[in-house]
Amino acid sequence: MTTPNRDGGAIGQHVVAVHCRREPTPEQSRNLVVPESLIPLQYAREDQWPLAFQLEDGRNELPIQLEDAQ
């Protein structure tokens, strides 16, 4: 994870949402339109997919397995 000022996240428990969208067309960019999602939208909503990770000091690997929408 990269934050605006440095690499890494704060130590502790974090709820995770996953977003993956198509590249916006020039028209979408001009009109500030958010392109469609490439993965099921449940992953972007914490109330539908409550995933949390505990970050520890040092390097953390956080595997995320996506499944088809139900």
The pTM of this model reads 0.57
Does 20 fall in a domain?
Answer: yes
Does 36 fall in a domain?
Answer: yes
Does 61 fall in a domain?
Answer: no
Does 38 fall in a domain?
Answer: yes
CA–CA–CA angle 43, 9, 35 (5° rounding):
35
**Per-residue pLDDT tens digits for 4-63:** 777 777 889 988 888 899 999 999 999 999 999 998 888 888 888 778 889 998 888 888
Half-sphere exposure of 27 (CA within 13 A, CB side): 0
Domain count, the chain: 1
Domain of residue 35 covers: 12-55
Does 65 fall in a domain?
Answer: no
Does 60 fall in a domain?
Answer: no
Does 63 fall in a domain?
Answer: no
Does 51 fall in a domain?
Answer: yes
